[in-house]
Amino acid sequence: MTTTVITLDPAGQIHGLPTYPWQGAPQGMATRRQLAQLGLRKNGQDPAAQLLRPRRRRPPLVAYLYRIDLAAPRRPFTDAKRAAVHTAARSRQVCQGPCGRRDLGYIPPELTGRRCWQCWDQANTTTGGR
> Closest Cα to residue 15, out of 54, 49, 46, 57?
49
Cα dihedral sign, 67-71-74-80: positive
| Residue whose CB is less far from Zn ion, 51 or 95 | 95
108 binds Zn ion (CB under 5 A): no
Return the residue of 11, 99, 103, 109 that touches Zn ion, per CB under 5 A. 99
DSSP 3-state of 36: helix
Helix%, strand%, coil% for the chain, nearest 5: 30, 20, 50
Return the residue of 116, 124, 127, 128 that touches Zn ion, per CB under 5 A. 116
Least distance to Zn ion, CB of residue 85, Å: 24
97 binds Zn ion (CB under 5 A): yes
95 binds Zn ion (CB under 5 A): yes
Least distance to Zn ion, CB of residue 104, Å: 8
Give the DSSP H/E element, type plus range, for residue 103: none
Interface residues with Zn ion (CB under 5 A)?
A: 95, 97, 99, 116, 119
